[in-house]
Amino acid sequence: MSCLSFTPRRRYLVQFEPKRSQHTFADVLIIGGGIAGIRAALAVDPKLQTIVITKDKLIQSNSVYAQGGIAGVMDPLDDVENHAADTIAAGKGLCNPDIVDMVVREAPESIQTLIDYGAKFDKVDGEIALTREGGHSHPRVVHALGDATGKEVMRALIDTIRNNATSRVWERTFTIDLLTFDGQCRGAVVWSERHGKTFIWAKQTILATGGAGQLFRETTNPSIATADGHAIAFRAGAELRDMELMQFHPTVLYIAGSSRHLISEAVRGEGAILRDASGYQFMQDVDPKAELAPRDVVSRAITNQMAKTNHPCVYLDVTHKEDTFIRERFPHINKVCAEFGLDITRDLIPVRPGAHYMIGGISVDENGKSTLPGLWGAGEVTSTGLHGANRLGSNSLLEGLVFGRRAGEGASALASSMEDDFRVPPLVSTWERHKRDDEELNLVDMRNSLNSLMWRNVGIQRDAEGLSEAVRQVEFWGRYASSREFFDPQGWELQNLLLVSRLMVISAEARRESRGVHWRSDFPDTDEALAQHQSISVE
């Protein structure tokens, strides 16, 4: 493993003093209310007191927007060795085979647990329906509500956690920073509009904050995916890994001026064809698997075809499929497209790639334990070794389930072994405030500029010149944005995005090869000598 380092400008984003703050205590603190966070909460011993923090309403998470489904061996013609082999093949040399084996073996049980919680998956003739997606050798993706799997899974999980008497859920609460003392994570300082800053002291803390798609102008992620977990873990001293690895989804609905909507990989799994502006089916020239090639291959092919044709998108064609089947299989996509006057059974769907899934994140072991004592991680905020350099479709919700349970059980066991201690550590954060003439920053403009820079220079195709420009610009913005103390989430999110952008660029510069989702036009080949992870930590 190669090791990088970087020193953030400030340990804590806000000033605080314990005597002037309000405090609460928990056995286990879980930051994040998606599939990994709630599954972790449900795995905690009910004798313990758990607090779940979510920055928006509980129904708002990346997990809710997941369309495709959950991969798991449910067909007797399939087996876990096939699932593992497909995952490792997609991961381009960076998967941990032991982690892959563990996760795919636990997949059927994890899916059954969701059914026990009340999730209703689509069925055919009384049996769970399975579909195939790009990179999978067999149909093994379970789905719900056609193309709204995340919505149904999260409904079941949220209903379950709401009825859990020992878990308190704090919605619309922003986590500013993790609290550390004597080399251990001791909880977090959070903020809500109603209560202001509050210190939550916990015996064990689990981060399940999701992704970082809002680093980029084009993304499938909702507005909450601002890399907060990556940033707060790094500032607290936890090791991060493979921060250059952001997966771009090939097919995002492209309507100029509108918000972007994911067009599930399952559409191609059911036979959709990618065509360029002239109607040509270009994927047949790129990969033997054509539309079912891994996501990194399809994303680059689309980008190249857009450049060749000088057209802002390509098109998904499902018009050759039976009308009723398409509408029933993809009701959400059908509805979204109809809002723009598109009939997916008659019209081509304009698509282009967008940032989708952050593969890099907090380094964790097989149970979700990070390098910082007292801190655990689960889901998209982590780097577990499952995805390698390119995530196989529908393995993400699966990872959240498996590691959510494992982190919840591990944190619960440690918390149970610790005595209650309601003393507040003498932890103080102060610095001299600097008066500046330009005190009022246009945060929206800065964030839009950062998104455009990252999309242009650190997106699907990268090179040394573009990465160097990105370093200079992000450093410039960081000097005056990170020197201020903000008092609401808009400012803290910008500071987090700037920090994680810097970590991503540093990591992308250091990986001088092309591997999986990381494509360097100046180093287009894969170097087997570099088939290793890159860690980055505070210098």
Q: Return the ∠ at Cα 259 (arms to 211 and 397), rounded to 5°.
A: 30
Q: What is the CA radius of gyration of the chain?
A: 22
With CA atoms as reference, report the closest residue to 359 among 265, 454, 244. 244
Is the distance from CB of 56 to CB of 170 less than 8 angstroms?
Answer: no
Catalytic residue among 235, 295, 329, 405: 295
Q: Return the ∠ at Cα 385 (arms to 382 and 390), rounded to 5°.
A: 90
Listed as own residue / partner, the contacts of 181-188 with beta carbons closer than 8 Å and 24 or more positions apart are 181/425, 181/427, 182/425, 183/237, 183/373, 184/372, 184/373, 184/374, 185/236, 185/372, 185/373, 185/374, 185/375, 186/374, 186/425, 186/427, 187/26, 187/29, 188/29, 188/31, 188/53, 188/232
Q: Which helix (H) or strand (E) holds 466?
A: helix 464-481
Is the distance from CB of 141 to CB of 69 less than 8 angstroms?
Answer: yes
Dihedrals phi, psi of 164, to nearest 5 degrees:
-90, 110
Q: Give the distance, in angstroms, between the CA of residue 298 and the centroid of all CA atoms in the same chain.
A: 20
Is the distance from CB of 78 to CB of 138 less than 8 angstroms?
Answer: yes
Q: Is 512 a catalytic residue?
A: no
Enumerate the β-bridge partners of residue 46. Answer: none
Question: Would you say the C-alpha torsion 360, 366, 369, 370 has a positive or negative sign?
Answer: negative
Which amino acid is present at 357? Y
Dihedrals phi, psi of 62, to nearest 5 degrees:
-60, -35
Which amino acid is present at 421? D
The DSSP result for 44-68, as a single string, is S-TTS-EEEE-SS-TT-SGGGG--S
Is the distance from CB of 235 to CB of 11 less than 8 angstroms?
Answer: yes
Side-chain-side CA neighbours of residue 276 (13 Å): 19
Side-chain-side CA neighbours of residue 399 (13 Å): 31
Dihedrals phi, psi of 500, to nearest 5 degrees:
-70, -30
Q: Using CA atoms, how far apart are residues 381 and 184, in angstroms rounded to an integer?
A: 19
Residues 6+ apart with CB under 8 A from 401: 35, 36, 39, 70, 110, 111, 113, 114
The DSSP result for 131-146, as a single string, is E--TT-SS--EE-STT
Q: Using CA atoms, how far apart are residues 251 and 228, in angstroms rounded to an integer?
A: 26
Q: Using CA atoms, how far apart are residues 511 and 530, in angstroms rounded to an integer?
A: 8
Active-site residue set: 295
